């Protein structure tokens, strides 16, 4: 997520100043306004300084309480409209770039080709002209960085299984450039940071591809290059990936130690980054059967409301409501609260944006697992029907493995015939898609 344009930042500050003006005119303290709107004094202070942007219900309540006659609500709506307009311009810019890339692809006559290794995954020629050079310069660096964002966008849509192999090869190419010293000295740190970012992305894709041994190696590569470059932001992202991975492998103690190493460090974490590491801590505690995990999610919710900061790392965009709901559902499931977990998974699926196809696929898989736990057969049938529409579009081995553990439980005699039949159909589709 890019930074907000200066005009939007100024609107946010002006809105905060207007809130302070109306509050003071009404002779209300920040603590009193917070109590009346469901926030604490610290949050109100941040809102008035333009560091936090609550949602519309807050502004509606504040407008009524402070007798602002619609001024606050109008300014909030104008700010949201500006943010949406900015986001739309960014989408149009990306679309124009992709269209230009596609036109270059057509004009250059590139064709899809079959791998000579026997892998049926067809790899197109790069959408961007990748410089073939023995000596990396600024142009090389910029194109590498653009390719990384292309990979992230493709993962959001199609999953990581097919992309993982290609991205590891991409990383090795950049690694070789660094190892040989074949680059302009002026770009050394930026190239190291880019290698760290590329290794982090490769590690994530390998995780989705269920190549777990390779995930750990790639995380180590990311930490190595990020530390060489002094890129603490990417180092933090990789550390939370490592915590996530340890939990996935059934090592909650390791996951907890990694999360605490950051939370108890001297880093001045922004609310959004702290939110992420608190989630990792909560997940690790829940895996260990510690009920304190659920109270951490109350703190997570409060921090998330603080919104994004200009100082937040560029990767913080994916810490959103969808992710937080899913993680809370996972913690509830780990603690044995399957019925409440179903509700959280349902909410996470509903909060998933249309372009986040891979996330929707995975979250539906966990929703199905929770529904099976509570014998909600009709709901499970409906969830499986949603999943069947996505099997051919998304390559996420992690999700396929998850479904492979769940579907046999739907073959038992106590399962209604229609749900049993849907499970058999989904099992067949998954088998066809992975052969």
Least confident of 14-18, 122-126, 375-379: 122-126
- Which of 218, 229, 225, 235 is CA-nearest to residue 269? 235
Residue 213: what pLDDT? 92
Model confidence pLDDT, tens digit, residues 10-66: 888 899 999 999 999 999 999 899 888 888 888 898 899 888 888 888 899 999 999
User: Are 373 and 406 spatial neighbours (Cβ–Cβ below 8 Å)?
Assistant: no
Which one is predicted more confidently, 288 or 84?
288
User: Are 298 and 342 spatial neighbours (Cβ–Cβ below 8 Å)?
Assistant: no
User: Are 106 and 63 spatial neighbours (Cβ–Cβ below 8 Å)?
Assistant: no
**What is the rounded (10 degree) CA torsion for 210, 340, 57, 27?**
-110
Model confidence pLDDT, tens digit, residues 212-227: 999 999 999 999 999 9
Residue 275 has pLDDT above 60, yes or no: yes
Give mean pLDDT, residues 302-317: 84
Give mean pLDDT, residues 192-201: 97
CA distance linking residue 61 with residue 70, whole number of Å: 10
In the chain, what is the straight-line distance between the N-terminal and C-terminal CA atoms, in Å? 36
Beta bridge partners of 157: none
User: Are 209 and 399 spatial neighbours (Cβ–Cβ below 8 Å)?
Assistant: no
CA distance linking residue 64 with residue 220, whole number of Å: 53
Least confident of 81-95, 152-166, 248-262, 268-282: 81-95
**Rg of the chain's alpha carbons, rounded to an integer?**
24
- pLDDT bucket at 81, cuts 50 / 70 / 90: confident
Beta bridge partners of 113: 123
Distances (CA, A) of 230 to 314, 328, 398: 16, 33, 32
Q: Residue 373 burial by CB count (10 A; 0-12/13-18/19+): exposed, middle or buried?
A: middle
Least confident of 110-114, 276-280, 282-286: 110-114
Residue 107: what pLDDT? 57
* Backbone region of residue 212 per phi and psi (left: phi > 0; alpha: psi in -120 to 50; beta: other values): alpha
- pLDDT bucket at 361, cuts 50 / 70 / 90: very high
In this structure, CATH architecture of domain 6-99: Orthogonal Bundle (1.10)
User: Are 392 and 357 spatial neighbours (Cβ–Cβ below 8 Å)?
Assistant: no
User: How high does pLDDT run on average in the chain?
Assistant: 88
DSSP 136: B
Model confidence pLDDT, tens digit, residues 92-112: 665 666 566 555 555 554 443
Residue spans of the domains in the chain: they are 6-99, 130-230
Residue 114: what pLDDT? 33
CA 431, chain centre distance (Å): 28
């Amino acid at each position: 997520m890019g930074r907000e344009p200066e005009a939007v930042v100024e609107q946010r500050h002006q809105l905060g100043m207007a809130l302070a003006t109306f509050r003071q005119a009404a002779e209300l303290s920040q603590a009193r306004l917070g109590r009346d709107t469901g926030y604490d004094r610290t949050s109100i202070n941040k809102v008035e300084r333009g560091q936090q942007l609550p949602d519309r219900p807050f502004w509606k309540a504040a407008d009524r309480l402070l007798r602002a006659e619609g001024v606050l609500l109008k300014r909030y709506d104008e700010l949201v409209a500006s943010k949406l307009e900015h986001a739309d311009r960014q989408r149009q810019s990306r679309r124009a770039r992709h269209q230009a890339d596609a036109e270059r692809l057509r004009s250059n006559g590139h064709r899809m080709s079959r791998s000579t290794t026997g892998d049926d995954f067809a790899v197109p020629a790069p959408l961007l002209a990748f410089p073939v050079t023995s000596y990396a310069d600024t142009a090389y660096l910029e194109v590498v960085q653009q390719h990384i964002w292309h990979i992230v966008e493709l993962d959001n849509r199609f999953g990581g299984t097919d992309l993982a192999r290609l991205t590891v090869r991409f990383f090795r190419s950049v690694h070789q450039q660094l190892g040989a010293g074949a680059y302009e000295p002026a770009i050394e740190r930026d190239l190291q940071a880019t290698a760290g970012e590329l290794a982090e992305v490769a590690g994530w894709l390998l995780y989705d591809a269920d190549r777990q041994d390779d995930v750990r190696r790639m995380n180590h590569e990311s930490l190595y290059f990020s530390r060489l470059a002094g890129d603490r932001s990417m180092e933090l992202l990789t550390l939370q990936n490592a915590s996530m991975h340890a939990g996935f492998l059934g090592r909650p103690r390791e996951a907890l130690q990694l999360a605490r190493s950051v939370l108890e460090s001297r880093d001045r974490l922004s609310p959004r980054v702290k939110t992420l590491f608190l989630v990792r801590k909560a997940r690790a505690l829940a895996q260990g059967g510690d009920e304190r995990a659920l109270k951490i999610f109350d703190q997570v919710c409060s921090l998330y409301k603080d919104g994004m900061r200009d100082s937040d790392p560029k990767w913080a965009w994916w810490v959103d409501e969808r992710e937080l709901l899913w993680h809370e559902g996972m913690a509830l499931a780990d603690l044995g609260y399957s019925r409440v977990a179903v509700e959280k998974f349902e909410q996470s699926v509903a909060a998933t944006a249309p372009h986040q196809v891979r996330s929707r696929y995975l979250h539906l898989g966990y929703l199905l697992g929770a529904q099976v736990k509570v014998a909600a057969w009709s709901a499970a049938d409906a969830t499986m029907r949603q999943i069947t529409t996505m099997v051919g579009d998304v390559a996420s081995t992690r999700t396929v493995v998850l479904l492979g553990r769940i579907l046999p439980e739907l073959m038992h005699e106590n399962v209604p015939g229609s749900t049993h039949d849907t499970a058999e159909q989904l099992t067949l589709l998954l088998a066809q898609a992975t052969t």
